[in-house]
Structure 1
Amino acid sequence: MTILVIGATGNVGSEVVAQLVKRGADVRALVRDPAKAKVPAGVAVARGDLLDVDSLRSAISGISTLFLVNGVVADEFTQALIALNVAREAGIERIVYLSVIHSDLYVNVPHFAGKFGVERMIEQTGLNATILRPAYFINNDVGIKDVITGHGIYPMPIGSKGLAMVDIRDVGEIAAIELVRRERASMPLPLDRINVVGPDTLTGEDVAAVWTEVLGRAIAFPGNDTAGFEQNSRQFMPNWMALDMRLMAECFITEGMVPDAGDVERLTKLLGRPLRSYRDFASEIAALA
């Protein structure tokens, strides 16, 4: 019985693969270029692309369980639907799909709306799946550490409603736990949704205060300039993606990413340990500086 990980070399997928190997699972990794893929020993590699149906059919052949994560790309929605339809065609009845929290609320944000459409497809076609709905990844802030340490500001316009930021390592472990649970069940398990959140719901001011404490000097939160955020983002991503990120930030401000009652307790029980906090992450980054 084999678990196929689509997106196996990405930030989340690589964590999922590592956690599955740790749990003794038989893992197959879908990658674009096997010659460049770095996967743990014992992991089988299948060459494929989410827009290449034949390669997907080959990769999915003989597997029992599927993990699907899509990158934020212009055709993300199409890629996800193709992958799930190929899995459905192959009779795969054990699936874990990585969506996003509040996909139903962030209705004008392209990569949120796309994931919500995928959730609807899963539900309405009767696929047996766990839909994981993570909040903002703490680890995204690795990309702004130089701004924080060099300019003394936390630049993300995340507002004052609060985000229950989650560590990618926790996301990967929870995904692996769910994959193994479905893989080892005597029969396909029914649809389930899990909000994957961190232990604290933090505002922009809260995050700046964490960095102030960790670094031992004042770090400011300059506010919620989403237009400026879009312009800065265009320096290192396509303009369509920069707009997507701006729209997401505007929903951070209006909606937040607040967990439901019991979410933290459910995840803590699932992991058998406390969730990693933003302060844990900031302390790790500061120690490497």
Structure 2
Amino acid sequence: MTILVTGATGTVGRHVIDHLLRQGQKVRALTRNPATANLPEGVEVVAGDLTDPGTLHPAFDDVSAAHLITFGGDYQPLRHGQQIVDLAEKAEVGKITLLGGWQEGTLESAVQASGLEWTFLNPVQFMANFLTDWGEPLRTTGVVREPYGDRKSPPIHESDIGAVAATVLTQDGHAGQAYHLTGPEVLTARQMVRHLAEATGRELRFEELTPDQTRREWGTGGNRPDLSLFRAFTQTPGVSDEDLVEILLQMYGTPHEYGTILTDTVERIIGRPPRTFAQWAVEHAHHFQPHGAA
């Protein structure tokens, strides 16, 4: 039987596929553009879009399990969750993993009310997010300029999320669970920049902005990071950039237990400790080198 992976070309989807292939599983990958998917040999690539259930019928044909994401290409929650669940039930799909937890859409509730054997995977922060958030400033200036440098999080390696998904999809004992996934340590933003400095051999540093500096620099569209992903995950599509900066300042400046607590879930499921941020930094050091550097 075949395991369907949606979000197949995304940050986590590629790792889900890699781990399933290592297990010898037959994998079908859903992507909006198969011609540019660039997935491993042996993966069956099919065209489809989770935001358009009418395109999904071939993807679910003869599928035994499926890894689903709860958002579309614009990172907004899926609006047609019940239709996706109906397709999965009609195809007699067994196990389902749902990657999400940042926002509530229609797919989560539809899956919970179904007869599917579901498991929610809720990571707090991907290590890969720092490729987008810090890649350009560290390549060009060697400096991350953000507020609240001592804010904490337990970032998780995206490959470990993929390993958990692959295990849950192929083993019993995980039905009806919502797994809070974290890395092995709680780190501050400053500490993560130091790990990147060690991995790259560069003098990288964190420069803390005051809230007022953040409002002036980010609110006017100057040297602020791309806020589009944050906008999607806060489900505030109509809010102004200035108000979005205020939401971000409040989030960064207010400790949140769920966002900083460590869990042993990854190790319990895959049988080894999750990878550290220092390991991730070494693996991705080339992304933080100046343009044109060897």
Task: Sort the TM-score into its range (normalised by shorter chain).
Answer: 0.7 to 0.9
1:132 counterpart = 2:121: yes
**Aligned match of 1:200:** 185
Deviates more, 1:163-172 or 1:87-96: 87-96
**Aligned match of 2:88:** 87
1:165 counterpart = 2:155: yes
Query: Is contact 2:103-2:233 (8 Å) kept?
Result: no
1:78-133 CA-partner distances (Å, limit 9, x unpaired): 15554234223433231001013xxxxxxxxxxx3335x54343334453211000
1:13-60 CA-partner distances (Å, limit 9, x unpaired): 111111111111111111223333322222212221223323212211
Structure 2: runs of 5 or more not aligned: 237-243, 290-294
1:176 counterpart = 2:166: yes
Q: CA deviation at 1:65?
A: 0.6
Equivalent position amino acid for 1:76 in 2: P
Number of matched residues? 269
Q: CA deviation at 1:150?
A: 3.5
Q: In structure 1, the residue corresponding to 2:46 is in which secondary structure?
A: strand
1:259 counterpart = 2:261: yes
Q: CA 1:71–1:251 in 2, change beyond 3 Å: closer, same or farther?
A: farther
Deviates more, 1:53-62 or 1:212-221: 212-221
1:191 counterpart = 2:193: no
What are the within-5 Å matches in structure 2 for residues 189-268 of structure 1?
Answer: 190-214=175-199, 215=201, 217=203, 219-223=205-209, 225=211, 227=215, 228-229=217-218, 231=221, 232=223, 237=228, 241=232, 246=245, 247=247, 250-256=250-256, 257-260=259-262, 263=263, 265-268=264-267
Query: Is contact 2:50-2:72 (8 Å) kept?
Result: no
Query: Is contact 2:48-2:55 (8 Å) kept?
Result: yes
Q: CA 1:161–1:48 in 2, change beyond 3 Å: closer, same or farther?
A: same
1:145 counterpart = 2:132: no
TM-score using structure 2 length: 0.77
Q: In structure 1, the residue corresponding to 2:34 is in which secondary structure?
A: coil
Q: CA 1:229–1:135 in 2, change beyond 3 Å: closer, same or farther?
A: farther
Q: In structure 2, the residue corresponding to 1:114 is in which secondary structure?
A: coil
**Aligned match of 1:279:** 278
Q: CA 1:160–1:235 in 2, change beyond 3 Å: closer, same or farther?
A: closer
| Larger helix proportion of the pair | 1
In 2, distance between residues paired with 1:36 and 1:272? 34
Equivalent position amino acid for 1:168 in 2: E
In 2, distance between residues paired with 1:46 and 1:57? 11
Q: CA 1:133–1:229 in 2, change beyond 3 Å: closer, same or farther?
A: farther
What are the within-5 Å matches in structure 2 for residues 5-24 of structure 1?
Answer: 5-24=5-24
Equivalent position amino acid for 1:153 in 2: V
Q: In structure 2, the residue corresponding to 1:154 is in which secondary structure?
A: strand
In 2, distance between residues paired with 1:152 and 1:216? 8
**Aligned match of 1:28:** 28
Equivalent position amino acid for 1:219 in 2: R
Structure 1: runs of 5 or more not aligned: 101-111
Q: CA deviation at 1:73?
A: 1.7
Query: Is contact 2:151-2:189 (8 Å) kept?
Result: no
1:200-233 CA-partner distances (Å, limit 9, x unpaired): 1112233234345444535124146564456356
Query: Is contact 2:16-2:162 (8 Å) kept?
Result: yes
Q: In structure 1, the residue corresponding to 2:28 is in which secondary structure?
A: strand
Q: CA deviation at 1:176?
A: 1.0
In 2, distance between residues paired with 1:276 and 1:237? 28
Q: CA 1:151–1:191 in 2, change beyond 3 Å: closer, same or farther?
A: same
In 2, distance between residues paired with 1:178 and 1:242? 25
| CA RMSD, 1 decimal | 3.2
Q: In structure 2, the residue corresponding to 1:193 is in which secondary structure?
A: strand
Query: Is contact 1:32-1:49 (8 Å) kept?
Result: yes
